[in-house]
Structure 1
Amino acid sequence: MTRNSTFALALAIFLTSNVALACSPAPVNEGWKFKAVHPDCSFENGGRGKWNSFRGKPVVDLGNGRIGQRLNSGDACFSQQNLFFMDCSIADGIVIGGQLVGSETKIGADGQKVVSHPIGIHESIELIQQPLGPIGLDEQTTLSELQNIAKNQGYRSTSSLDAFFGRTAVQKKVDYTCGCKLYYPDSPGAKL
């Protein structure tokens, strides 16, 4: 082997081993931390396990009894976003999984989709929401409309909120009615 080919081989081994290390899960130990729920209904440390994280961004008041929230979970190798929508006036909602991407997609200055270099295994709710996707949340959005979109687009979804937010092998119980209690305290959703 020549000096250059030896260097190239060593560099290739180094680079591929670092890629593997970048995706080696590291414990987040959320199971040993107290779950923190903030006044805006965001939460941290919702995971129960050693490796999995589960947290929620602040709840957004969409108007007319409707709320939305971005949920994030995962580990060093996989991150998953879910879109939570609840109509507090009917005490029902849906969680819709983000779209799996291996690269980041955004709208460029010219209004066209622009795909950047791969960023890893990631599910993003930005890709299912307008302007990139079919979902637009506002005060007129209905649960049946979102269920139909999820079904027609093949998005992972569930309307079993007790099961999704309940205590499981990977997460602590999360009060999904927090946003209804915050923004619509007299609604049926706040009284669940």
Structure 2
Amino acid sequence: MTAAIVSFLAGFFLQGMSALACDFRVPLIDFENPTEYSADGSFVGAGIDAFHNQDSVDRDDGMWRGLPVIDIGSGRIGQRLERVFLCPFVRREYLLFTDCNSGEAIMVLGTLPPPELLGQFPDPELAELIRAIEYLQPPHGPIALSRVSEVSDVLALASAEDFRVVTDFDEFMAIWPRRSRFDPLHGCSIYYPELLEVEQ
């Protein structure tokens, strides 16, 4: 894997704080404006209004954002997507892998830290709030993305580990306002626009 991909999957630093003190709700959001993309493929403002007064950690509502798109090579791109919570220690990350050659994409929900890493958390309960994509990939997980990876390969590896996956994005975002959806092929227009023309 290249240094860029490794950087893309880098972890984060957690300060000591009780997980019980966290607010597990998602922020109140105005979805009147459409999803806003930047030149690097990152985006903000996607999602659907949440039930603000309920615990929504394990649902798919609320605000979504995407970090900059990473070019893996040979028509493949990757991106980290995140759901936004009021609690800074709640992490719901999704690995978006897109094959611009075929126009196929897959999104895999991150997973819990492996047991050998639990000691790095000042509060053991913090680990229970994390679903991070860095634990999906080597050296912790089986999903190693490369310039020859296929969506079917990622699906097989994720399914074998019982990771949650999304391949039908129209269905996944069916109840989201159209202006507030994200396009899993958007990064192709940045790195492989010629492949999008072929697809069309």
On whether the aligned pair clears a TM of 0.5, the verdict is yes
> Structure 1 residue 114 and structure 2 residue 126: aligned?
no
- Using CA pairs under 8 Å that are at least 6 residues apart, name the structure with larger relative contact order, 1 or 2: 2
Aligned to 2:98: 86
SS at match of 2:190: helix
Q: What percent identity do the matched residue pairs reach? A: 27
The 8 Å contact of residues 64 and 84 in structure 2, kept in 1 or not, is answered as: yes
Please give the root-mean-square deviation of Cα atoms over the aligned residues, in Å: 2.7
**In 2, distance between residues paired with 1:179 and 1:153?**
27
> Rg: which structure is higher?
1
2:180 is aligned, of 143, 147, 172, to 172
Greater alpha carbon shift after TM alignment, 140-149 vs 63-72 = 140-149
Question: So what's the TM-score if we normalise by structure 1?
Answer: 0.73
Question: So what's the TM-score if we normalise by structure 2?
Answer: 0.71
Aligned to 1:109: none
Letter in 2 for 1:48: I
Aligned to 1:159: 167
Greater alpha carbon shift after TM alignment, 59-68 vs 113-122 = 113-122
The 8 Å contact of residues 93 and 132 in structure 2, kept in 1 or not, is answered as: yes
The 8 Å contact of residues 94 and 158 in structure 1, kept in 2 or not, is answered as: yes
**In 1, distance between residues paired with 2:103 and 2:26?**
38
For structure 1, the 5+ residue unaligned runs are 1-17, 107-112
> Structure 1 residue 95 and structure 2 residue 103: aligned?
no
**In 2, distance between residues paired with 1:155 and 1:82?**
11
Letter in 1 for 2:187: G
Q: Which has the higher strand share?
A: 1
> Structure 1 residue 67 and structure 2 residue 77: aligned?
yes
For structure 2, the 5+ residue unaligned runs are 1-17, 53-61
Letter in 1 for 2:117: V
Aligned pairs, number? 165
SS at match of 1:145: helix
The 5 A counterparts of 1:114-153 are: 114-115=117-118, 116-117=120-121, 118=124, 119=126, 121-153=129-161
